[in-house]
Amino acid sequence: MKKWVFLFVIVALLGYEALQRTRENANGSPGNAEIPVQVSGDASRQRSEGKQGESSKQVTISVAKDQVYKGKLVLVNKKNAVRSEGEQTDIVRLYEHKDLIRGFALLDNTIRLSREVAKEFGEMMEAANKDGVNHFMISSGYREEKEQDKLFREMGSDYALPAGYSEHNLGLSLDIGSTQKEMNQAPEGKWLLKEAWKYGFILRYPKDKTTITGIQYEPWHFRYVGMPHSAIMKENNMTLEEYLDYLKEQKTITAHTEGNTYEIRYYPYSKNMKITIPANRRYDITGNNSDGVILTLYL
């Protein structure tokens, strides 16, 4: 696998980061893609909006307060509880949806997960199978608060969070195991460490970030955040906590990958909030679960 090359140059008040990643192309062979990421502040956002306004119409979207508490990037930890709005609305029992079980086993028939996340996970498993890594098993997915409370009492605060403060209450996180070995030794664990980000997943509790996450290293616990967020976090060795702080500080990031350009903007929430974006552009809005929203524009 080709190595990533990272370049960071300070030019005046702007910083430029270069990322390079690989992902299988349509015929299954490895392909290379350069991902330059431009980091800037409010001034760049204004220039970007102005340039787009010259060539396309603008539309205004309203942002309700509850948007702060839902979406792929909401932060859930000891300080940030899951709101009812944050729970995914497409939770399904995987055992009852055989079309979603692709290339992995289930620990039991009670495991639930967001349908969207299950689809993305299935695509990732098919890629792993092509690489000869094929002993994956989901041991846990979405949990109701009573299930989380029981686990917290059994495991303690180092390895579990109180009911209402666990990502498992969202439906975006899952515990992935191997039927062969423990995940910190299994080929499945090693494959995920290298490849999961390509499919929108991140290792949520890394070994070197325990003081930031407040949770001990869990090589089995992965969280779905989607692209391009997973790519940026992987390249910069960021946890979700660090990434959200980074977006709040920088205000705007522009990323280009495989012919796709993304503009990611952070906005602090305000009453009667409205955001202006280019018309006819795909976009996604997610909250950070505390005080703002992140807009991802597909340019």
Instruction: Determine the structural domain holding residue 207 and report its residue range.
Output: 82-224
Query: Does one domain contain both 157 and 213?
Result: yes
Query: Does one domain contain both 202 and 265?
Result: no
Domain membership of residue 182 (yes or no) is: yes
Q: What is the pLDDT of residues 175-201, one digit of tens each?
A: 999 999 999 999 999 999 999 999 999
Residues of the chain with pLDDT under 50: 1-55
Domain membership of residue 232 (yes or no) is: no
The residues, any chain, with a CB within 8 Å of residue 261's CB and separated by 6 or more, are: 254, 255, 298, 299
218, 242, 258, 263: the active-site residue: 218
Query: Does one domain contain both 194 and 134?
Result: yes
Structure tokens, 166 = 């666990």
Query: Does one domain contain both 260 and 164?
Result: no
Domain membership of residue 100 (yes or no) is: yes
Structure tokens, 284 = 């996604």
Q: What is the pLDDT of residues 78-93, one digit of tens each?
A: 899 999 899 999 999 9
Query: Does one domain contain both 260 and 212?
Result: no
DSSP tag of 6: -
Domain membership of residue 274 (yes or no) is: yes
Distance of CA 277 to the CA centre of its chain: 23
Assess whether 218 carries a catalytic annotation.
yes
Domain membership of residue 74 (yes or no) is: no
Query: Does one domain contain both 44 and 132?
Result: no
Q: What pLDDT was estimated at residue 56?
A: 63
Q: Cα–Cα distance between 177 and 165 in angstroms, integer?
A: 23
Taking phi over 0 as left and psi of -120 to 50 as alpha, with beta for the rest, 271 belongs to beta
Q: Where is the domain boundary, 224, 259, 287?
A: 224
Domain membership of residue 128 (yes or no) is: yes
Query: Does one domain contain both 210 and 249?
Result: no
Residue-wise DSSP of 254-280: EEEETTEEEEEEEEE--TTEEEEEETT
Q: Cα–Cα distance between 116 and 200 in angstroms, integer?
A: 11
Query: Does one domain contain both 220 and 88?
Result: yes
Q: What pLDDT was estimated at residue 44?
A: 45
Q: Where is the domain boundary, 181, 198, 224?
A: 224
Q: Where is the domain boundary, 201, 224, 247?
A: 224
| Gap between the terminal Cα atoms of the chain | 29
Q: Cα–Cα distance between 120 and 73 in angstroms, integer?
A: 16
Total domains in the fold of the chain: 2
Domain membership of residue 73 (yes or no) is: no
Query: Does one domain contain both 100 and 204?
Result: yes
The CATH code of the domain that includes 182 is: 3.30.1380.10
Q: What pLDDT was estimated at residue 9?
A: 29
Residue 84 one-letter amino acid: S
Strand order in the sheet with 173-178: 105-106, 136-140, 173-178, 221-224, 201-203
Query: Does one domain contain both 94 and 216?
Result: yes
Query: Does one domain contain both 25 and 113?
Result: no
Domain membership of residue 188 (yes or no) is: yes
The residues, any chain, with a CB within 8 Å of residue 228's CB and separated by 6 or more, are: 35, 255, 257, 262, 264, 296
Which stretch of DSSP H or E encloses residue 140?
Answer: strand 136-140
Distance of CA 171 to the CA centre of its chain: 13
Which residue is listed with tokens 């909250």? Answer: 287
The CATH code of the domain that includes 267 is: 3.30.200.180
Tell me the pTM: 0.80
Asked whether the beta carbons of 94 and 138 are under 8 A apart, the reply is yes
Query: Does one domain contain both 60 and 159?
Result: no
Helix ranges, 41-88 (H): 42-55
Q: Cα–Cα distance between 286 and 273 in angstroms, integer?
A: 14
